[in-house]
Structure 1
Amino acid sequence: MLPDQKLDILLARHATLEAELLGQVGAETYVRATRELAELTPVVDAVKAYRAAQAEIKDIDALIADPTTDREMRQLAESERPALEEKSGALEQQIRIALLPKDAMDDRNVVLEIRAGTGGDEASLFAGDLFRMYERFAALQGWKTEVISASEGTVGGFKEIIAEIEGRGAYAKLKFESGVHRVQRVPDTETQGRIHTSAATVAVLPEAEDVDVAIKDADLRIETMRAGGAGGQHVNKTESAIRITHIPTGIVVTMQDSRSQHKNRASAMNILRSRIYDAERQRMNAARSAERRGQVGSGDRSERIRTYNFPQGRVTDHRINLTLYKLPDVISGVALHELTDALTTEHQAALLAAEGAAA
């Protein structure tokens, strides 16, 4: 049974927001209230349906217990009860999940970093495959992807690529993608048909805001240099590339993709802020590792999380022992949601179990 007090608070908050929006409110208040109302409405609908189902069960139980109820009516009531119990149980689970404490970062944009690992050229090609998978997945969610920095592989793909994915709930959907992704396939250059194993590392960072991380100017070492690679005379004359070192953590960000030093600096600071914030979150998570043992992954960048086996057409997520025999659909981004949804469900189950144990 769900606690009535919690449900009453939800209903009261929903009613307050509806009343607020009927009055004269400023643009900022209107956006905030509308967003909160949109999030609350499905939960409130579930609460109302749950209470209605509970009331029906109570009425049925009273009917069955009443000695004056005739036999046919009692049998009808008894036959209806299991379906109502099932409906009530499903609604209760839905509400419990909705009431779980939310990660404050869930609605944030994402800084996505993909790096080729072991496997040489094949690893770079795989890093390119992963980037296109996330780019397509983001497009299907209605999100926008912008490449911030890219270092291409010698035969295609990327040695490293950093992009921003902008969209509501991006971090919530992608946060379990961090870790080592492994691919098993026969490279185009392989003449004897041998399967090679390569890897790429994915890091999904919530985009940090100024208020999240206080960075002192004194803690930064900023160097300007000439951009490498193609660019002709412009590159030779202009020191547009930026390297920023955060001295306390040793985190270094180099940015040279734009001809504008100002734009490179802004991009580098954005990535630096997200990396510092993520490093602090990782440190805090490590301190709570015993508590998080039952949850999905540790967020450790070195943890092997998934294998993409091309000869067998399968994708296996090792954290939840889920195998899908639809590799082309997953790697194209179309079926990636089946993995992200399963990981979210597993995470929610772990949270519910922890909440139940603490109760």
Structure 2
Amino acid sequence: MFDKLEDLLIRYQELTDELNDPNVVNDQARFRKLMKEQNDLAPIVEKYTEYKETKAAIEDSLAMLEEESDEELRELAKEELSECKEKVEVIEKELKILLLPKDPNDEKNVIVEIRGGAGGDEAALFAAELFRMYSKYSETQNWKIDMMNVNENGLGGFKEVVFMINGKGVYSKMKYESGVHRVQRIPVTESGGRIHTSTSTVAIMPEAEEVDVYLDLNDCKFDVFRSSGNGGQCVNTTDSAVRLTHIPTGIVISCQDEKSQLKNRDKALKVLRSKLYEMELEKAHNAEAEARRSQVGTGDRSEKIRTYNFPQGRVTDHRIKLTLHQLDNIMDGDLEEVIDSLIAADQAAKLANMNEQ
């Protein structure tokens, strides 16, 4: 590990020298590429520098204990030695995490699909609440939401809602949300006061660029139709909605959020690219079964990942056995503790897998 860290330290210095070269500064494409590489290395270099400084402090404390006869100074040296040894252990763990292979999709925007599952109207109402939860969470992260398609049920619920989240490192946090979300509560449609269990499914797909996946437009069939629902601004008075069918896979995508047919077409293509990209990722994951097992549920839509129990005000994430009695806050977008716990568990699983290898 330390040989690798020394190599990264040398590479960081090389990048610093290159970025100060006027020829590189004048080549904007190369400059941006080198800047990104340096920014990616910076946290590792900073942590490794801190590690080396702490190791040096340990050596100084040991030397003082050998040479110093003053008892008060020896006590101070012992205290510093103890603190530095504890600090080194923490830093070593942090360095191992920083050296874990990065998911190449972590910095990407995501396309989110939320669908009402088992439970009819109640499932659709819960799907709308999940959309609100992610919208509120996105606000706290300074992410922007771009609507793509909404299919309402007439009671304020969503049979399906598709939207994009744009921002820094969106996929790195949102990828843990894919799967089945279960709700337990008395539905507003229930007259007998009985608790029902309903589900909604969430799919998180990294936004695919044109270079990520090949898409032949000859394989795509486009139909236009009149938007439905609460459109406004002429959205549902013209044939602006677009239905895209990908003939080889049978994937059908509808986009009707924009009043421009062209914009809806572009959004539909974005969703299709991301779906095809996700299918390729799934194939790669299946081929790398061992790596897949070391992850904390990132992607399987059929996996029941979380239960929201309203009578008890409880949220349980089944993958990491985490239970929080903060349902109101979580439904209001306070997902930080849940997602941080998932990231920590994922890192721990990958570290354990790396140590075994």
The TM-score, its normalising length taken from structure 2, stands at: 0.90
Three-state SS of the structure 2 residue aligned to 1:175 is helix
Distance 2:10 2:148 in 1: 44
The structure 1 segments of at least 4 consecutive aligned residues displaced by more than 6 Å after TM superposition are: 234-237
Distance 1:294 1:209 in 2: 27
Distance 2:228 2:54 in 1: 67
Distance 1:132 1:101 in 2: 33
Distance 1:88 1:19 in 2: 30
Distance 2:33 2:157 in 1: 41
Partner of 2:89: 89
| CA deviations over 1:173-205 (Å, ceiling 9, x no partner) | 100100000111122233332211111100010
Deviates more, 1:222-231 or 1:270-279: 222-231
Deviates more, 1:158-167 or 1:5-14: 5-14
Partner of 1:351: 350
Could you tell me how far 1:78 is from its partner in structure 2?
A: 3.6
| CA deviations over 1:292-349 (Å, ceiling 9, x no partner) | 224201521010000111111111100000011111111111x201111111111111
Partner of 1:165: 165
| CA deviations over 1:18-65 (Å, ceiling 9, x no partner) | 33343431444444444444443333221111001112223434555x
Distance 2:52 2:93 in 1: 13
Three-state SS of the structure 1 residue aligned to 2:299 is coil
Distance 2:298 2:288 in 1: 10
Distance 1:236 1:168 in 2: 33
Contact 2:219 2:247 in 1 (8 A): yes
Structure 1: give runs of 5+ residues left out of the alignment: none
Partner of 2:15: 17
Partner of 1:223: 222
CA RMSD of aligned residues (A): 2.4
Could you tell me how far 1:71 is from its partner in structure 2?
A: 7.8
Distance 2:236 2:306 in 1: 43
Contact 2:235 2:257 in 1 (8 A): no
Could you tell me how far 1:164 is from its partner in structure 2?
A: 0.6
Partner of 2:104: 104
Contact 1:226 1:236 in 2 (8 A): no
Partner of 2:196: 196
- Which residue identity does 2:101 align to in structure 1? P
Deviates more, 1:292-301 or 1:204-213: 292-301
Distance 2:308 2:214 in 1: 40
Note closer, same or farther for the CA distance 1:116–1:108 as it changes in structure 2 (3 Å cut).
same
Partner of 1:244: 244
The TM-score, its normalising length taken from structure 1, stands at: 0.90
Distance 2:291 2:20 in 1: 44
Q: Equivalent residues in 2 for 1:112-261 (5 A)? A: 112-220=112-220, 222-227=221-226, 229=228, 239-261=239-261
Contact 1:224 1:240 in 2 (8 A): no
Three-state SS of the structure 1 residue aligned to 2:254 is strand
Deviates more, 1:347-356 or 1:171-180: 347-356
Three-state SS of the structure 1 residue aligned to 2:338 is helix
Contact 2:235 2:258 in 1 (8 A): no
Identity %: 47
Distance 2:137 2:219 in 1: 37
Contact 1:46 1:95 in 2 (8 A): yes
Could you tell me how far 1:104 is from its partner in structure 2?
A: 0.5
Could you tell me how far 1:275 is from its partner in structure 2?
A: 0.2
Note closer, same or farther for the CA distance 1:31–1:282 as it changes in structure 2 (3 Å cut).
same
Distance 2:318 2:328 in 1: 19
Distance 2:59 2:287 in 1: 47
Distance 1:145 1:266 in 2: 16
How many residue pairs match? The answer is 351
Partner of 1:42: 43
Could you tell me how far 1:261 is from its partner in structure 2?
A: 2.5
- Which residue identity does 2:6 align to in structure 1? D
Partner of 2:58: 57
| CA deviations over 1:142-190 (Å, ceiling 9, x no partner) | 1110111111122112110000100010000100100000111122233
- Which residue identity does 1:126 align to in structure 2? F
| CA deviations over 1:78-115 (Å, ceiling 9, x no partner) | 44322111111111111211111101100001101100
Contact 2:147 2:257 in 1 (8 A): no
Three-state SS of the structure 2 residue aligned to 1:112 is strand
